[in-house]
């Protein structure tokens, strides 16, 4: 990227000398001295955005002096000034589930620009892009020394078409690098290697310029790197592609919530316990669309690994990001992870010179504040369906019992019905747990000497960048395994256990500490380096267990050290999912049952038959800290990241064509040329009004992007499965929705196809169903295609927090390709709203107390919204609803096209169409 000097901010450009380095930079104190405003009380997170505008202040970059002065007004107004600004991140981070469709779009745009008379080379990332392949490995094999190699072999068998395509992209596009499979999770690789905290690049005159490291990523947990004082957040692939191609991120100056941490963590607690409490507190406050910045004396006692855990889960507490300013701990982590000493010196000097350093007097203005004494943190889990559903560990068994009671209302079962159920294949009877009123069911497992019941833990997984990036909890998990194995404890035989670290460094220090051997004894063998269970790649459980769960209608559970536990995400066999620290995952694998109070009930018996309790196998903080200090070394990071882009022999053997444009394989079921740009004209039109649209779905609260566009497995009876069966793809080769995001035909059929989604137009039905044009129940895909054939537009109605969760752009792409023109919800999560706009779908919010429920919607209505051809940002408009009996009701809705440039995106049919047309006109 070339830095361009703005004409008005040239006076803020200064020179910084650090040792032998001499770099230019844009000085915030100089901007203040030049009369552009008082920026002394801005939070560090907002100073990063301010510096970005100072650097790009130029007519060609859509930044004005008033934009810069608006930051001073923000501080004067108590942390509020929602002015629209154009922000340009330094780089883009991708993972392969979201990265494949992004590269598909870029390849399609090359075809599109050629069709419009341009040059294929006009489509190239202008900013550095790193894509880390981490979402593809699945846990087919576990609990034995062969697991890692067998899972890797299956990964390549399943995904060779995708890997060939990504490797082609690496050769075809400039500024695009691929980190091969088996390296780690993108956010952990970013934290441990890619991120620099302060970035440097050359300007048009060849002079080195220093500026804050910033990025956007095609994964919501891009926020993890904010723990290293790198401002970054997740966007959909659509928005990321626009950023790659030089389009600024259009945003409003955000509110910033200050979260003060004081005190120190007490014995027996972990960073996971802390973050689960933070998630609960911030969700309760409400921080959607806001920055959260952590400050306070507690940061003096909070390792960067714990900060990264908190920053990682920003999507779970709903914030754009959770930022930690630069301080001595930032420098310590950079040094310990192998960063260059010159870079570390630059980070310190730049931060102190430009006002980014957290010292004892750090006390900026915040929009609002929260406070948490870390000394009050207790061991905890969260679940069974949402990350913010915090449960103190002492209350976990009771809470599960209450959940079961809600799922299974107590009712009398006639004796003859009990006899009939028993005759049909084993006892499907209430399973009595101490303190329970008889709501639990149980089922004998065929061929095994045990019975499953509601609450049986069938998956226990140490997984995800959230916790495997943290050596304190990983060493802690290894020590729990060591103490348990020494006493003769093991996982319960029905528990599928797995260890999937976020980087190879984790294996390095677990092996150096001798802990991997202990984890192996409990069944936590290495299964791969990737996201695995956390994104639904948990793989199949034992068929006999799956059959028992289905036959007994059991509520089986999982415990994972991840960040997401939404319905239908982890496994199709599991209905209750709990997030926990890695040491607790090991403990729960030994217990095997969510009904057990692991804080006071025995986990099992030792070799002599004595009861063993959690306290008997829990390590002390001193034990953990000593091993971390001894085994987590700078040398390990330098060694493991020395050849990060090289990959193993399998990756090096992947063959790819050498061409500017992609030769789309007609028979591929993984990668297809999408229809977005085919037949596109050079000129945009106006936004079309929504006229006599039918309702495709009426959805409830907290409908996540996992509900809208699931990532996990699917059956042959689904529209996506039928598509593959028709093309002679065996069920064993179906892979997952996430791995097939390069094929729009699969993803259209997978939209709104989550097995747990509930369309309120239907009575108690789960799954991707709706009413077709004839009023009969059918799949959402089939109904949408029938409506498209008839030329009928579609709308979606929804509740609060619509589109929460992952940043996946396919939740918006699929919605658009099904023919949905508008989504009317009570509220939207930030990324999904932006993605809908980026795909030309108009988001609306209810106003005045109207909701989907108050309107009495049945799905038989038609909807008309006029005035879109002259809409203004955030304009209130009238939606006319005509009911089946012919009566009508007009309601006022707010159009959530938030900025002027977003109007242009919608007029063009989406942000990529907007970029493509502009490039074609410039050719």
Res 919: pLDDT: 86
CA-based R_g, the chain, Å: 27
Res 10: pLDDT: 63
- Contact 349/16 with Cβ under 8 angstroms? yes
Which residue stretches of 807-877 are H helix?
A: 810-817, 830-838
From the number of C-beta atoms within 10 Å of its C-beta (0-12, 13-18, 19+), residue 807 rates as: buried
Q: 687: which DSSP letter?
A: P
Separation CA 348–CA 354 (nearest Å): 10
Q: Which CATH fold topology does 380-619 show? A: Aconitase; domain 3 (3.30.499)
Q: How confident is the model at residue 438 (pLDDT cuts 50, 70, 90)?
A: low
Q: What does the block give as tokens for 377?
A: 């943190």
Return the closest-CA partner of residue 184 out of 637, 678, 807. 637
Separation CA 655–CA 156 (nearest Å): 13
Res 429: pLDDT: 46
Order of all β-strands in the sheet with 451-453? 430-431, 440-444, 451-453
Residues listed for the chain: 923
Res 681: pLDDT: 87
Res 58: pLDDT: 45
- Contact 577/558 with Cβ under 8 angstroms? yes
- Contact 507/516 with Cβ under 8 angstroms? yes
Separation CA 511–CA 514 (nearest Å): 5
- Which listed CATH number (3.40.630.30, 1.10.3720.10, 3.40.50.300, 3.20.19.10) goes with 690-706+793-922? 3.20.19.10
- Name the phi and psi angles at 410, rounded to 5: -70, 135
Q: Tokens 């194995």 label which residue?
A: 485
Res 576: pLDDT: 95
Residue 415 has pLDDT above 50, yes or no: no
Burial 622-634 (b: 16+ CB within 10 A, else e): eebeebbeebbbe
Return the closest-CA partner of residue 565 out of 824, 386, 397, 712. 386
| Segments making up each domain of the chain, as ranges | 380-619, 690-706+793-922, 710-750
Question: Packing angle between helix 830-838 and helix 911-922, nearest 10 degrees?
Answer: 50
Residue 445 has pLDDT above 60, yes or no: yes
Work out the average pLDDT over 554-566: 90
Separation CA 275–CA 561 (nearest Å): 12
Work out the average pLDDT over 538-561: 94
Residues 66-120: pLDDT tens digits? 999 999 999 999 999 989 898 999 999 999 888 888 899 999 999 999 999 899 9
Say what the alpha-carbon torsion angle 476, 594, 529, 156 is, to the nearest 10 degrees. 160
Chain centroid offset of residue 606 CA: 40
Q: What is the DSSP string of 454-505?
A: TTBEEEEEE-SHHHHT-HHHHHHHHHHHHHHHHTT----TT-EEEE--SBHH
Q: How confident is the model at residue 923 (pLDDT cuts 50, 70, 90)?
A: low
Res 424: pLDDT: 39
Residue 60 has pLDDT above 70, yes or no: no
Mean pLDDT (the chain, rounded): 91
- Contact 477/516 with Cβ under 8 angstroms? no
Work out the average pLDDT over 809-826: 96
Q: How confident is the model at residue 536 (pLDDT cuts 50, 70, 90)?
A: confident
Lowest mean pLDDT, pick from 271-285, 411-425, 483-497, 683-697: 411-425
Strands 769-771 and 777-779: antiparallel
Separation CA 177–CA 173 (nearest Å): 9
Q: What does the block give as tokens for 72?
A: 């001073």
Q: What does the block give as tokens for 646?
A: 């090289």
Q: Tokens 């004396």 label which residue?
A: 297
Separation CA 15–CA 10 (nearest Å): 12
Strands 794-797 and 690-698: parallel
From the number of C-beta atoms within 10 Å of its C-beta (0-12, 13-18, 19+), residue 20 rates as: exposed
Res 2: pLDDT: 36
Q: What does the block give as tokens for 511?
A: 């092996």
> Vertex 780, ends 773 and 817: CA angle to 5°?
100
Which residue stretches of 557-659 are H helix?
A: 582-591, 614-617, 621-631, 634-640, 649-652
H or E element: which one contains 347? helix 341-354
Return the closest-CA partner of residue 662 out of 106, 101, 100. 106
Separation CA 279–CA 287 (nearest Å): 10
Kindly state the percentage of the chain with pLDDT values over 70. 95
Work out the average pLDDT over 331-359: 97
Separation CA 709–CA 831 (nearest Å): 14
Count the neighbouring beta carbons within 10 Å of the beta carbon of residue 328: 13
Separation CA 39–CA 54 (nearest Å): 12
E-strand stretches of 272-320:
291-295
Kindly state the percentage of the chain with pLDDT values over 90. 76
Residues 771-807: pLDDT tens digits? 999 999 999 999 999 999 999 999 999 999 999 877 7
Q: What does the block give as tokens for 368?
A: 């609002």
- Contact 124/88 with Cβ under 8 angstroms? no
Res 476: pLDDT: 97
Separation CA 647–CA 92 (nearest Å): 21
Give the bridge partners for 771, in sequence order.
Answer: 777
Q: How confident is the model at residue 420 (pLDDT cuts 50, 70, 90)?
A: very low
Burial 513-526 (b: 16+ CB within 10 A, else e): bebbebbbbbbbbb
Query: Between 190 and 538, where is the model more confident?
Result: 190
Res 61: pLDDT: 63
From the number of C-beta atoms within 10 Å of its C-beta (0-12, 13-18, 19+), residue 300 rates as: middle
Instruction: Report the Cα–Cα distance between both ends of the chain, in Å, rounded.
Output: 20
Return the closest-CA partner of residue 287 out of 254, 264, 311. 254
Res 421: pLDDT: 37
- Name the phi and psi angles at 555, rounded to 5: -95, 85
Q: Tokens 């969700």 label which residue?
A: 283
Residue 505 has pLDDT above 50, yes or no: yes
- Contact 488/519 with Cβ under 8 angstroms? no
Work out the average pLDDT over 364-392: 95
Separation CA 515–CA 474 (nearest Å): 10
Separation CA 771–CA 783 (nearest Å): 7
Res 437: pLDDT: 46
Res 521: pLDDT: 97
Which residue stretches of 499-648 are H helix?
A: 504-512, 515-521, 543-552, 582-591, 614-617, 621-631, 634-640
Q: How confident is the model at residue 422 (pLDDT cuts 50, 70, 90)?
A: very low
Return the closest-CA partner of residue 896 out of 853, 850, 838. 838
Burial 876-892 (b: 16+ CB within 10 A, else e): ebebbbeeeeeeeeebe
Query: Between 137 and 826, where is the model more confident?
Result: 826
Count the neighbouring beta carbons within 10 Å of the beta carbon of residue 642: 9
Strands 321-323 and 368-373: unpaired
Residues 896-919: pLDDT tens digits? 998 888 999 999 999 889 989 988
- Contact 785/809 with Cβ under 8 angstroms? no
Res 853: pLDDT: 95
E-strand stretches of 711-838:
769-771, 777-779, 794-797, 820-825
Residue 255 has pLDDT above 90, yes or no: yes
Work out the average pLDDT over 358-368: 96
Separation CA 96–CA 334 (nearest Å): 26
Order of all β-strands in the sheet with 380-382? 390-392, 380-382, 576-579, 557-560, 457-462, 496-499
Q: How far is CA 482 from CA 6, 208, 218, 464, 515, in A?
A: 59, 51, 38, 22, 7
Q: Tokens 């190879």 label which residue?
A: 504
Separation CA 82–CA 257 (nearest Å): 14
Res 246: pLDDT: 83
């Amino acid at each position: 990227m070339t830095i361009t000097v703005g004409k008005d901010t040239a006076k803020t450009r200064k020179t910084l000398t650090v040792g032998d380095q001499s770099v230019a930079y844009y000085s915030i104190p100089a901007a203040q001295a030049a009369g552009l405003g008082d920026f002394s009380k801005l939070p560090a997170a907002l100073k990063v955005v301010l510096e970005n505008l100072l650097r790009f202040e130029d007519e060609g970059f859509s930044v004005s002096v008033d934009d810069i002065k608006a930051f001073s007004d923000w501080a004067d107004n108590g942390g509020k000034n929602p002015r629209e600004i154009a922000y340009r991140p330094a780089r883009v981070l991708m993972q392969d589930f979201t990265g494949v469709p992004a590269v598909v779009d870029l390849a399609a745009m090359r075809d599109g620009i050629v069709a419009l008379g341009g040059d294929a080379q006009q489509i190239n990332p202008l900013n550095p892009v790193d894509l880390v392949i981490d979402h593809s490995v699945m846990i087919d094999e576990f609990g034995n020394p062969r697991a890692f190699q067998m899972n890797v072999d299956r990964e390549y068998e399943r995904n060779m078409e995708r890997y060939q395509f990504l490797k082609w992209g690496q050769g075809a596009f400039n500024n695009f690098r691929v980190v091969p499979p088996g390296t780690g999770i993108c956010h952990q690789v970013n934290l441990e290697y890619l991120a620099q905290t302060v970035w440097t690049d050359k300007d048009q005159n060849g002079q080195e310029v220093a500026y804050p490291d910033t990025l956007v990523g095609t994964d919501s947990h891009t926020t993890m790197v904010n723990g290293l004082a790198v401002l970054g957040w997740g966007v959909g692939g659509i928005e990321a592609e626009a950023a790659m191609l030089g389009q600024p991120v259009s945003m409003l100056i955000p509110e910033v919530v200050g979260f003060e941490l004081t005190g120190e963590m007490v014995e027996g607690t972990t960073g996971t316990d802390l973050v689960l409490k933070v998630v609960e507190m911030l969700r309760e406050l409400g921080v959607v669309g806001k920055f959260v910045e952590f400050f306070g004396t507690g940061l003096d006692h909070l390792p960067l690994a714990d900060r990264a855990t908190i920053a990682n889960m920003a999507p779970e507490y709903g914030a754009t990001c959770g930022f930690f300013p630069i301080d001595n701990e930032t420098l310590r982590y950079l040094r310990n992870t192998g960063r260059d000493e010159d870079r570390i010196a630059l980070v310190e000097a730049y931060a102190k010179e430009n006002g980014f350093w957290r010292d004892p007097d750090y006390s900026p203005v915040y929009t609002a504040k929260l406070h948490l004494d870390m000394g009050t943190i207790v061991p905890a889990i969260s679940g069974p369906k949402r990350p913010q559903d915090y449960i103190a560990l002492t209350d976990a068994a009771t809470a599960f019992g209450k959940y079961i009671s809600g799922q299974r209302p107590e009712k009398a079962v006639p004796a003859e019905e009990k006899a009939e159920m028993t005759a049909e294949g084993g006892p499907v009877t209430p399973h009595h747990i101490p303190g329970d009123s008889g709501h639990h069911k149980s089922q004998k497992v065929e061929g095994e000497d045990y019975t499953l019941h509601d609450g049986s833990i069938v998956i226990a997984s140490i997984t995800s960048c959230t916790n495997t990036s943290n050596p304190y909890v990983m060493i802690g998990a290894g020590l729990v395994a060591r103490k348990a194995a020494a006493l003769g404890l093991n996982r319960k035989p029905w528990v599928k256990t797995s260890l999937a670290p976020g980087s190879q460094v984790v294996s390095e220090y677990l092996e150096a500490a001798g802990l991997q051997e202990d984890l192996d004894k409990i069944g936590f063998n290495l299964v791969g380096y990737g996201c695995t269970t956390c994104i639904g790649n948990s793989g199949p459980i034992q068929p006999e267990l799956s059959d028992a769960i289905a036959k007994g209608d059991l509520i089986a559970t999982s415990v994972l050290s991840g960040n997401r536990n939404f319905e239908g995400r982890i496994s199709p066999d599991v209905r209750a999912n709990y997030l926990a620290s890695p040491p607790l995952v090991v403990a729960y694998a030994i217990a095997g049952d969510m009904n057990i109070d692991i804080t006071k009930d025995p986990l099992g018996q030792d070799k002599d038959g004595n009861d063993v309790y959690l306290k008997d196998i829990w390590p002390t903080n001193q034990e953990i800290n000593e091993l971390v200090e001894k085994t987590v070394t700078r040398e390990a990071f330098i060694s493991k990241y020395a050849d990060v882009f090289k990959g193993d022999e399998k990756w090096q053997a992947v063959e790819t064509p050498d061409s500017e444009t992609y030769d789309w394989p007609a028979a591929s079921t993984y990668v297809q040329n999408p229809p977005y740009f085919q037949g596109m004209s050079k000129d945009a039109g106006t936004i079309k009004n929504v006229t006599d649209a039918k309702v495709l779905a009426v959805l409830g609260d907290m409908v996540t992007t996992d509900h809208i566009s699931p990532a996990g497995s699917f059956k042959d009876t689904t529209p996506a499965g039928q598509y593959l069966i028709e093309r002679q793809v065996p069920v064993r080769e179906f892979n997952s929705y996430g791995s097939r995001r390069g094929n729009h035909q699969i993803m259209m059929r997978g939209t709104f196809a989550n097995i747990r989604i509930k369309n309120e137009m239907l009575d108690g039905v789960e799954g991707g169903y709706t009413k077709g044009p004839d009023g009969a129940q059918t799949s959402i895909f089939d109904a949408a295609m029938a409506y498209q054939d008839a030329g009928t537009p579609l709308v979606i109605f929804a509740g609060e927090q619509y589109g929460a969760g992952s940043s996946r752009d396919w939740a918006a792409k699929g919605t658009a390709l099904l023919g949905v023109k508008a989504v009317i919800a009570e509220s939207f999560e930030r990324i999904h709203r932006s993605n809908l706009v980026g795909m030309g779908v108009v988001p609306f919010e209810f106003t005045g107390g109207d909701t989907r429920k108050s309107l009495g919607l049945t799905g038989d209505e038609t909807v008309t919204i006029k005035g879109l051809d002259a809409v203004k940002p955030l304009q209130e408009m009238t939606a006319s609803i005509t009911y089946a009996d012919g009566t009508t009701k007009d309601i006022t809705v707010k159009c959530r096209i938030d900025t002027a440039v977003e109007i242009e995106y919608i007029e063009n049919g989406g942000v990529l169409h907007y970029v493509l047309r502009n490039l074609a006109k410039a050719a």
